[in-house]
Amino acid sequence: MNANQDLAKIAALLGEDSRAAMLAALLDGRALTARELAIGAGITPQTASFHLGKLCAGGVLAMLRQGRHNYYRIAGPEVAAAIQALQVIAPKAAPRPAKLDDVRLARTCYRHLAGRLGVAVTAALEEKDLLRRNGDDFDLTPGGEGFFAELGIVPDELRKGRRHFARQCLDWSERRPHLGGALGVALTDRFLAQKWLRRVPGGRAVRLTKLGAAQLHERLGITDWDR
């Protein structure tokens, strides 16, 4: 199969509304059952299982067996990054103000912080010379190493993993990069553990708490990010 045929095969896998809806639901890194994905996509569990089988066979999704249940997740960060890139160029549907605003303001993107808040945090890290761009990645400066260590994050441990250490992830709503990779995941997990962020039930949106707003202002000088 040549490169054109490969591209056409992947495009055919993704070019179906129900599959696209299920993939979008999995972009925050969670693993969900066929039933959960079916409900979110507005289709029957049997139809969802058919589509999920196609996506697994095509290498887009991976299935995990736990007890009596099968869970589905994005096959890897490279697949998630490709889907995010497609969201950037996809035509935007007419906005649904309340829900869309939450997602645009702050959400998880394959477990790292995205949306206007994610971009604001990344921009502040750059402005304070804690992160520097290097190709498609970010490099941590010596000051950045110390900053993350103060948060209880050990960069050297993250560098040992298989995931990209600090990736520039182009934010589909802001069209600017937010911090991805293992460092982005660790930072978001820390924000949630410290109750600086809280999840909004039923989706990928997150909200900055009063404590989180105070901490981001004190540590990074972030204000008015939601305007």
pLDDT (tens digit per residue) in 43-59: 888 999 999 999 999 99
Q: What is the pTM of this model?
A: 0.68
- Measure the CA–CA gap between 175 and 119, rounded to whole angstroms: 9
Confidence of residue 96 (pLDDT cuts 50, 70, 90): very low
| Cα 165 from Cα 132, distance rounded (Å) | 13
- Amino acid (1-letter code) at residue 169: C
Looking at the chain, which residues constitute the CATH 1.10.10.10 domain(s)? 3-75
In this model, does residue 4 exceed pLDDT 60?
Answer: no
Q: What is the pLDDT of residues 99-133, one digit of tens each?
A: 447 788 999 988 999 999 999 999 999 999 999 99
Q: What is the CATH number of domain 3-75?
A: 1.10.10.10
Average pLDDT over residues 64-88: 85
- Mean pLDDT to the nearest integer, 143-151: 97
